[in-house]
Amino acid sequence: MTFGIFLLFGFAILALAGGTSNLPPPEKMDLLSRLAGPSERHLLGTDHLGRDLLSRLLAAIPVSLGAALKTMAAILAIALPWGLISGLAGGRTDMVMMRLADIVMAFPTLVLALAVIGFMGASLEASIIGVAVAWWPSNARLIRALVLSANERDFVKASYLAGASRRRVIFRHVLPQILPPLAVIVSLETASVLLALSSLSFLGIGAQPPMPEWGAMLNEARPFFAHAPHMLIAPGLAVVCAVLAFNLVGEGLRDLLDKRRPYQW
């Protein structure tokens, strides 16, 4: 977990450093030094248009991570109210809402996102919407499960019995209970969303050039990977580290929250 937070901070600092450093601008082409390997002038080498890879990699941090966070926010904006209402209302409302979520869940996430983007036209915004549309139901289900188990707790039942208003119970007792596990879910899901977005960019239907974005950089690197593997490795590792960071934070939070200890043999 510490390592995960460290990584995230590292990305933030690097993103800031990228803006203030004296690296060449990420879109600047130097057609004389195309596909150059790492050197003193270009620490990570250059791409097929002679653009500095380090500069592009750093400029991509806010784009790639920002897109993942925006997508996660969009997912939560649908999934949180959906799961809460479904879990608290119960009965027929619950059933209908969950069936509706099931309908969307039945389709493969990536293909549904692809179809949505296909009809909107490729752009980073379209891929954010596409992923959010395909992704929210599974999170709505998770949130509903959290709400159900929170609702079952004795003190929640007790405050209902004590005549507390529904709104008061929700905000005072239910929400605070589901927030910690929700933080775990958000962190782990952000990791997966980041992977999904980079897959879409890799297919060339996410971020549009010349915008630097890790998945798009990998897409550009692909034709050259046989003899310029440096183009592929740096952005790939950046994606791995970012996904890893969110995963580690999520796992770490889970361990922190989990008070049970297994019996050792």
Partner 1 sequence: MLRFLLTRLAVTVPTLLGMSFVAFAIVALAPGDPVQMELRAMGIVPKPEDIAAIKAAYGLDKPFFIRYAHWLARALQFDFGTSVATGRSVIAEIGHHMPATLMLSLVSLVGAVGISLALGTLAVMADRFTANCVRALSIVLVSVPPFWLALLFIHVFVLNLGWSRLVGDGSAIDLILPALTLSIGAGAAMGRFVYERVRAEACEDYVRLAIAKGVSPFGILLGHIGPRIIGSMTTVWANTLGWLLGGAVIVESIFSWPGLGQLILQAISQRDFPIIQGYLVLMGLVFFVTSFLADIVLVLADPQLRRGLADE
Partner 2 sequence: MSKSKILASFAALGLLALPATTHAVAETHLTVAVKADRYSVKPDKFTFTTRRPAAQIAETAVKPDANFNPSPLLFKSWDYNDGTYTVTLQDGVTFSDGTPFNADSAIASLKLYDQNKSDFLQLDQNSFKKLDDYLISFRSEVESALVIENMTHRGASLFLPTDAMAEYPVGTGPYILESYEPKKQITVTRNLNYWGEAPKIDKITYLFIGDDNARLLALQNGEVDVIGEVTPQMMLSMPQDGSVVLNESRPIRYAALMFNMLGKAPFDITTDISVRQALAMAIDRETIAQVLYGGRGQAAKTILPGWMFDLGDDHANGFTYDPSKAGKMLDEAGWVVGDDGVREKDGRKLKLRMVAAYPNVSTVKPMPEMLEQMFAAIGVDTEIVEVADSGVYNDTYFGPGQADMYLEFASNNNTDPTYLLYNVFTTMSPWGYAVTSPGGNVDELATASRVAPSRKEAIELVRQAYKSIVDEHTSSIPILLVPNFTLSRPGVSVPMSEYADWIGYGNVSFNH
DSSP structure string for the chain: -HHHHHHHHHHHHHHHHHHHS-PPPTT---TTSTT--S-SSSTT-B-TT--BHHHHHHHHHHHHHHHHHHHHHHHHHHHHHHHHHHHHH-HHHHHHHHHHHHHHHTS-HHHHHHHHHHHH-S-HHHHHHHHHHHHHHHHHHHHHHHHHHHHHSHHHHHHHHTT--HHHHIIIIIHHHHHHHHHHHHHHHHHHHHHHHHHHHHTT-SSPTTS--HHHHHHHHGGGTTT-THHHHHHHHHHHHHHHHHHHHHHHHHHHH----PPP-
Q: Does 190 bind partner 1 (CB under 8 A)?
A: no
Interatomic CA distance for residues 54 and 43, integer angstroms: 7
Binder of partner 2 out of 5, 90, 223, 237 (CB under 8 A):
223
Q: Which residue lies nearer to partner 1 by CB, 49 or 244?
A: 244
Q: How big is the site for partner 1, counted in residues (CB under 8 A)?
A: 43
Q: Does 233 bind partner 2 (CB under 8 A)?
A: no
Q: Which stretch binds partner 1 (CB under 8 A): 23-31, 68-76, 100-108, 163-171?
A: 100-108
Interacting partner of 114 out of partner 1, partner 2, none (Cβ under 5 to 8 A depending on kind): partner 1
Interacting partner of 106 out of partner 1, partner 2, none (Cβ under 5 to 8 A depending on kind): partner 1
Q: Does 156 bind partner 1 (CB under 8 A)?
A: no
Q: How big is the site for partner 2, counted in residues (CB under 8 A)?
A: 23
Q: Which of residues 113-142 bind partner 2 (CB under 8 A)?
A: 118, 121-123
CB of 198 vs partner 1, minimal distance in Å: 6
Q: Does 227 bind partner 2 (CB under 8 A)?
A: yes
> What is the CB neighbour count within 10 angstroms for residue 78?
17
Site string for partner 2, 146-185 (x = CB under 8 A): ----------------------------------------
Interacting partner of 223 out of partner 2, partner 1, none (Cβ under 5 to 8 A depending on kind): partner 2
Q: Give Cβ neighbours of residue 93 (< 8 Å, ≥ 6 apart).
A: 85, 86
Contact, 151 vs 160, CB < 8 A? no
Interface residues with partner 1 (CB under 8 A) are 99-100, 102-112, 114-116, 118-119, 191, 195, 198-199, 202-203, 218, 222, 225-226, 229, 232, 236, 239-240, 243-244, 247-248, 251, 260-263, 265
Interface residues with partner 2 (CB under 8 A) are 27, 29, 31, 34, 48-49, 118, 121-123, 204-205, 208-210, 220, 222-228
